[in-house]
Structure 1
């Protein structure tokens, strides 16, 4: 939890101060689409969302430079962790919100995101503004992502729906143990559980055409990593390969 404010608030503020000292006239902040939950003070809002919200507010207070706040929906690597296990014959696991429904998103590739960040510098309409940013795809549910992975791999789609309530059981157990033993490590584990639950239930989806950007589709990304391999998002690759699991475990030893 404390890392959220150390990185998403204080480290970003340090960057802002350094940019100002170097003579920068415009500052681009990479925030997150999900900060809207902290703005609404949703009961399930996460610590890093509050940290980013506080930094956004701090940035808006500046009067000696202009700014752009960019809130991407999700990165491709956040929805790619199961490709290898599906290729090995395992089912694609998704979180069932009821009646087969699952969270929907239109993620953006890292090259397209980088191009968008550069565009904000030259585009006058982006100055002193917030930009919700998704990729070029229509929204894809977790179930549709699983079907897309199978299609790219040339396999029959096999999916396994996990009831979303399993998160509540895990989070409550971890939080209870953290409170009982006053354990910061267990507290962090409970927060990781909340992060997983959040992205399992919340749509990360831009609906305004002006908020869809780029050319690289999720299918094209899956086709590339099926050949070249990939980096893993350790916080969203819960059901991924051994490499994805190892990346997550590495975050727990820091």
Structure 2
């Protein structure tokens, strides 16, 4: 439907609105004049998200993503033109990520096809460019299903989130050293805020040129290393710079020890994967990967938005002071 001012009003179903990114997406869609409906699981976090979605002006539906028939009914009731999936495993464990990143998304896609939706937008991750972890393979398996489906698709692959780079703010404010892997220059990223990523996704929903595209996206540059993140925090707190280096090889050792019992224990399998995940993020940049050279490129990583990591740090420090 087209409004009097020429903007296109689209009915959009958002799955995964219980997470911080999903909630931001719902707000951005409503602010953009779209009809947003949140599809949630019945849980404590789902009920909380339902209240927030309703307060923002969005509709709310509940469904079990593991039950295809029930999911079909919910999606058909929403009658969306576009489905946005922000579904993602919270743990990254092999069992959990297969159930969420792959199977739940496949069920959602089948339900969207059944409801005759036109467009399916997936929030994925830039790290699937170099897949070594269970959740990366699960995401790629679903991306393949989506691309091969009859629906138009848009796959958004963001770089690092502000939240993932904010874990040491309180630590530094207390005068403790900033923890680094190696020399702190092993990786770089262009972090993007929840709000800017949500606005980018909302833009993709109404932009026909974004259909049938895989879109990596970062926040405003330049790309930043962990050591530079530490320097920023020390400057903002007025603390004397202090660093403590940890060798990423420790994660390899932990993974080898834990993996011996992985075939016999889901708990050990999860812990083994956590060690692999930690090693990956300690050594791989969250930037576009050049398939020819095998190198990460800050210049090739698109930027969007205006929120900066420095402003985020300033806000967090103000809140903790």
TM-score range, shorter chain: 0.7 to 0.9
In the TM superposition, 1:169-248 aligns within 5 A as 169-179=253-263, 182-206=264-288, 207-208=298-299, 211-228=302-319
Structure 2: runs of 5 or more not aligned: 1-93, 289-297
Q: TM-score of the superposition, structure 2-length normalised?
A: 0.65
CA distance in 1 between counterparts of 2:301 and 2:250 reads 37
Query: Counterpart of 2:149?
Result: 62
Conserved? CA contact 1:105–1:139, under 8 Å: yes
Between 1:54-63 and 1:144-153, the stretch displaced more is 144-153
CA distance in 2 between counterparts of 1:205 and 1:75 reads 12
In the TM superposition, 1:34-49 aligns within 5 A as 34-38=127-131, 45-49=132-136
Conserved? CA contact 2:173–2:237, under 8 Å: yes
| CA offset digits 1:200-229 (Å, max 9, x no partner) | 000102434671111101101111122236
In structure 2, which of residues 128, 132, 137 is the aligned counterpart of residue 50 of structure 1?
137
Q: TM-score of the superposition, structure 1-length normalised?
A: 0.81
Query: Counterpart of 1:246?
Result: none
> Measured at CA, do residues 228 and 21 of structure 1 come closer, stay the same or move farther in structure 2, by a change above 3 Å?
farther
Query: Counterpart of 2:188?
Result: 104
Query: Counterpart of 2:250?
Result: 166
Deviation at 1:154, TM superposition (A): 2.3
CA distance in 2 between counterparts of 1:79 and 1:119 reads 25
Query: Counterpart of 2:63?
Result: none
Alignment partner of 1:75: what SS?
coil
Structure 1: runs of 5 or more not aligned: 39-44, 230-254
| CA offset digits 1:127-162 (Å, max 9, x no partner) | 000000111121111111111122222222211121
Select the structure that is richer in helix.
1
Deviation at 1:100, TM superposition (A): 5.5
Q: What is the aligned length? A: 218
Deviation at 1:20, TM superposition (A): 3.2
Query: Counterpart of 2:163?
Result: 77
In structure 1, which of residues 134, 137, 150 is the aligned counterpart of residue 221 of structure 2?
137
The alignment yields a C-alpha RMSD, in angstroms, of: 1.7
Alignment partner of 2:145: what SS?
helix
Conserved? CA contact 1:102–1:143, under 8 Å: no
Deviation at 1:85, TM superposition (A): 1.1
Between 1:220-229 and 1:4-13, the stretch displaced more is 220-229
| CA offset digits 1:42-88 (Å, max 9, x no partner) | xxx0000000001110001112x211000011111111111111111
Q: Which has the higher contact order (CA 8 A, sep 6+)?
A: 1
Between Structure 1 and Structure 2, whose CA radius of gyration is higher?
2
2:203 is the alignment partner of 1:119: yes
Alignment partner of 1:152: what SS?
helix
Alignment partner of 1:107: what SS?
coil
Deviation at 1:114, TM superposition (A): 0.5
| CA offset digits 1:91-120 (Å, max 9, x no partner) | 000101xx6632111111000010011111
Query: Counterpart of 1:94?
Result: 180
Alignment partner of 2:156: what SS?
strand
CA distance in 1 between counterparts of 2:122 and 2:281 reads 22
Between 1:13-22 and 1:163-172, the stretch displaced more is 13-22
Between 1:192-201 and 1:161-170, the stretch displaced more is 161-170
Conserved? CA contact 1:94–1:102, under 8 Å: no
